[in-house]
Amino acid sequence: MTKKIFFLVDVNSAFLSWEATYRMQHGAKIDLRTIPSIIGGNPKTRRGIVLAKSIPAKKYNIKTGESLRDALKKCPTLEIVAPSYEIYIRASNALLEILKEYSPNIQRFSIDECFIDFTDSIRLFGDPIEVAHIIKNRVKKELGFTVNVGVSSNKLLAKMASDLKKPDQVHTLFHEEIPEKLWPLPVDDLFMVGRKTLPKLNQLGIFTIGDLAKSNLPSIQYHLKSHGKLIWEYANGIENSQITLSDYADVKSIGNSTTIPYDIDSKEEALLYLLSLTEMVAMRLRDKNKMCQLVAITIKNNELISYSHQRKIYYSTDLTNDIFDEVKKLFEDAWKKDPIRHLGVRVSDLINNEEKQLSIWDKKNEESLRKLDSTVDELRQKYGNSIIQRSSFLHTGIKNINGGVEKDYPMMTSIL
């Protein structure tokens, strides 16, 4: 039986690398990757969280997920850039096209990570480690950003290998290399060991992955139940899942949210924010060739008390207008008339486009609306989020909620 070989291709500081690459390709003089910089939040109000950081920013101990306020305390000269999701989708798709040349068995694990089952491709391309280097170098030369490639006999070890040292590296982590490369690492470096699990492991005297691997399994199961068995197996390199041929692994929902720098107390303004969020959610839904059958919203007031509302819909859709119709109904039902500081939109119960069944409830103009949405998506992906916007957003300042980069292109306004 042929030994399985998996790659995990991981984009280094994905959002920041993609943003920097795009800007350099369009004439920027400063590479964001060479200065303390982050992607996240609003660069004008300096509110939000860090989504990605440059290597120079790491020297200031800036962490992904922390607030911009805390990050700026550590580095007052930090360059802040709002996220540009349309650019990131295009960059991710371009990476996928290169990877498809080496194997049809690819699992898009997230927007910046892809698993490849390279086993059957060895006969065509030869030594896997040499091919991993070829892929890494091609991405850097042709697309302008760097990746790490982890190589191993299962997906878990390939993923752990990709994280060993960054950026622009190829690493192997086969079973015989586990004691040397994996076991000395802190236990929270292990996939599936999170912030809640770490203190429990530390209380048991487990501080490294090796400590966990050598620990007594029944004891780990007693304290951590089935999750304990899972991470004990991972610490010992035991994992047998296969490639899932889907756009993203186990996509269950798609959402988008924003924290607003001031209190919103008018329904009209809240709906404008929700419309902007819905546009991004629907665009991502269409990009993944999915339709939704459940819509949900989240509201957080100025005292940071959060509540949500959801609705199962009787049809499946990827149309912006359909989803927003449901969002409006949900907001009407849910809002307690308190000042709003945070809003979110999420869709779930996803199905593939080809699984959609005809219904007597289908709108007569559905195909026209779908073509319109598709055209808007293409324009925004090509020219940026600002190239076309709804007239309701004019003069509101809300058009940039999704992080679209302002361009010098002439503005086009739809009549929606």
Q: Is the pLDDT of residue 181 over 80?
A: yes
Q: Which of 8-17, 44-53, 84-93, 121-130 has the lowest mean pLDDT?
A: 44-53
Exposure of 125 by Cβ count < 10 A (0-12 exposed, 13-18 middle, 19+ buried)?
A: middle
Distance, first Cα to last Cα, the chain: 59
Exposure on the CB side of residue 116, measured as CA atoms within 13 A: 27
With cut-offs at 50, 70 and 90, classify the pLDDT of residue 2. Answer: low
Taking the C-alpha atoms of residue 40 and residue 49, their distance in angstroms, rounded to an integer, is: 6
183-235 CATH fold: DNA polymerase; domain 1 (1.10.150)
What pLDDT, on a 0 to 100 scale, did the predictor assign at position 258? 82
Q: pTM value? A: 0.65
- Among residues 349, 345, 327, the alpha carbon closest in space to that of 252 is found at 349
DSSP state of 31: -
What are the DSSP calls for 324-340, one per residue? HHHHHHHHHHH--SPPE
Which class is 253-414 in CATH?
alpha beta
Q: Is the pLDDT of residue 162 over 50?
A: yes
Q: Taking CA 393 as the corner, what is the angle to CA 388 and CA 398, rounded to the nearest 5 degrees?
A: 100
Taking the C-alpha atoms of residue 34 and residue 289, their distance in angstroms, rounded to an integer, is: 36
What 3-state DSSP class applies to 261? strand
Question: How many other CB atoms sit within 10 Å of the CB of residue 315?
Answer: 16
Question: How many other CB atoms sit within 10 Å of the CB of residue 110?
Answer: 13
Pick the CATH number of 1-168 from 1.10.540.10, 3.50.50.60, 3.30.70.270, 3.40.50.1370: 3.30.70.270
With cut-offs at 50, 70 and 90, classify the pLDDT of residue 161. Answer: very high
Beta bridge partner(s), residue 254: 347
Q: Is the pLDDT of residue 72 over 80?
A: yes
Taking the C-alpha atoms of residue 379 and residue 399, their distance in angstroms, rounded to an integer, is: 15
Q: Which of 4-13, 108-117, 243-252 has the lowest mean pLDDT?
A: 243-252
Residue with tokens 């509540």: 307
What pLDDT, on a 0 to 100 scale, did the predictor assign at position 389? 53
Domain boundaries in the chain? 1-168, 183-235, 253-414
What tens digit of pLDDT does each residue of 273-313 get? 898 889 888 888 888 888 999 999 999 988 878 899 999 98
What pLDDT, on a 0 to 100 scale, did the predictor assign at position 377? 61
What 3-state DSSP class applies to 8? strand
Taking the C-alpha atoms of residue 34 and residue 141, their distance in angstroms, rounded to an integer, is: 18
Top mean pLDDT of 61-65, 193-197, 254-258, 342-346 is at 342-346
Residue 399: partners with Cβ closer than 8 Å, 6 or more residues away: 276, 385, 386, 389, 393
Q: Which residue has the higher pLDDT, 158 or 247?
A: 158
For the chain, what percent of residues have pLDDT higher than 90? 56
Taking the C-alpha atoms of residue 366 and residue 376, their distance in angstroms, rounded to an integer, is: 15
Mean pLDDT, rounded, of the chain: 84
Taking the C-alpha atoms of residue 136 and residue 131, their distance in angstroms, rounded to an integer, is: 9
What tens digit of pLDDT does each residue of 355-390 get? 555 444 455 566 666 666 666 666 555 544 544 455
Enzyme catalytic residues: 113
What pLDDT, on a 0 to 100 scale, did the predictor assign at position 287? 83
What tens digit of pLDDT does each residue of 385-405 get? 544 455 544 444 444 444 332
